[in-house]
């Protein structure tokens, strides 16, 4: 990896990766106006149905949590020309469902689950484009806190070299950790045989906008270090910010029903 402005470089501080598996269903349902998603009746309809299916899916013993998100903002990214050369569609996903499984091996069981299959079908039938991928966790700061009031990031990375995109993430995540008090981040890497349009997808959260958004807009080193290093290393980074629509976690041993966070 070539480091630009290396005097600003700090590797991210990590904990051990988790043994969880991840299923990501990202869909382009509504339209965008610049960085903002337009209101969409179809998006609301899909998410209403998905809310119920997530709650049902979380009752499965192989599921840790099932969370649905709606897009709120596309902050500055990098790599439109890289995507064009690679024949990869830009990420414009305004609906995302993330299912975290107990193990990577449990992914196939959940993919075959009728509730999960119904959920994917509901999204596919409404979407212009869908990205459906199974992944493991090569690195993390911490498991993402899916509290209902947080702001959530999915950053979709495309690069011709897997090692380069990981190294770029290590340093740019270090910048976010130092400059935006990033409390958590989980990197998701497609399993063998899955789509590699995005070599990794980073999922993270912040408790409020003021923690991070001003730095993306006004901190000079965001462009001179973060975006510049993506550009110098042939990495297309496509961040989208989301709000949680609903979340459901697997029931504890003392409860017979899943705990669902109310739809937003």
In whole angstroms, give the CA distance from residue 130 to residue 228.
Answer: 29
- Cα separations in angstroms, 142 against 113, 139, 185, 240: 28, 9, 6, 20
At which residue do the structure tokens 């043994």 appear?
Answer: 19
The DSSP element (H or E) to which 243 belongs, if any, is strand 236-249
Residue 50 pLDDT: 97
In whole angstroms, give the CA distance from residue 224 to residue 78.
Answer: 12
In whole angstroms, give the CA distance from residue 151 to residue 164.
Answer: 27
Residue 42 pLDDT: 97
Residue 252 pLDDT: 58
Residue 250 pLDDT: 78
Tens digit of each residue's pLDDT, the chain (264 residues): 999 999 999 999 999 999 999 999 999 999 999 999 999 999 999 999 999 999 999 999 999 999 999 999 999 899 999 999 999 999 999 999 999 999 999 999 999 999 999 999 999 999 999 999 999 999 999 999 998 889 999 999 999 999 999 999 999 999 999 999 999 999 999 999 999 999 999 999 999 988 888 888 889 999 999 999 999 999 999 999 999 999 998 775 333 333 344 445
- Relative to beta strand 63-73, strand 259-261 is unpaired
Say if pTM beats, i.e. exceeds, 0.85: yes
> For residue 248, what are the β-bridge partners?
66, 260
3-class secondary structure, 36 = strand
Shortest CA distance to 20 belongs to which of 134, 131, 148, 183?
Answer: 134
Under 8 Å between Cβ of 187 and 200: yes
Under 8 Å between Cβ of 216 and 222: yes
Shortest CA distance to 37 belongs to which of 94, 86, 78, 76?
Answer: 94
Shortest CA distance to 76 belongs to which of 244, 187, 236, 242?
Answer: 236
Backbone torsions φ then ψ of 102, nearest 5 degrees: -65, -35
Interhelix angle 41-57/114-126, rounded to 10 degrees, is 170
- CATH assignment of 11-252, among 3.30.70.240, 3.40.50.300, 3.30.565.10, 3.30.70.100: 3.30.70.100
The DSSP element (H or E) to which 96 belongs, if any, is strand 95-101
Under 8 Å between Cβ of 130 and 123: yes
């Amino acid at each position: 990896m070539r480091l630009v402005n290396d005097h600003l470089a700090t590797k991210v501080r990590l904990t051990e990766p988790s043994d969880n598996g991840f299923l990501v269903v990202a869909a382009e349902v509504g339209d965008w106006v610049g960085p903002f998603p337009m209101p969409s009746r179809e998006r609301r309809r899909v998410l209403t149905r998905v809310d119920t299916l997530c709650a049902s899916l979380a009752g499965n013993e192989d599921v840790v949590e099932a969370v649905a998100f709606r897009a709120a903002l596309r902050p500055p990214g990098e790599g439109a020309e890289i995507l064009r050369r690679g024949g990869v569609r830009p990420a414009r996903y305004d609906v995302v469902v993330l299912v975290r499984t107990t193990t990577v091996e449990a992914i196939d069981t959940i993919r075959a689950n009728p509730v999960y299959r119904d959920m994917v079908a509901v999204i596919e039938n409404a979407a212009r484009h869908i990205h459906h991928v199974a992944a493991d966790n090569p690195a993390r700061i911490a498991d993402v806190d899916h509290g209902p009031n947080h702001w959530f990031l999915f950053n979709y990375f495309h690069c011709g070299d897997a090692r380069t995109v990981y190294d770029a993430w290590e340093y740019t995540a270090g910048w976010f950790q130092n400059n935006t008090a990033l409390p958590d981040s989980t990197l998701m890497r497609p399993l063998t045989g899955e789509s590699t349009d995005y070599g990794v997808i980073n999922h993270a959260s912040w408790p409020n906008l003021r923690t991070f958004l001003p730095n993306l807009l006004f901190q000079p080193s965001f462009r001179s270090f973060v975006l510049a290093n993506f550009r110098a290393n042939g990495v297309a980074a496509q961040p989208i910010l989301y709000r949680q629509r609903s979340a459901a976690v697997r029931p504890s041993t003392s409860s017979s029903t899943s705990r669902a966070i109310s739809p937003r």
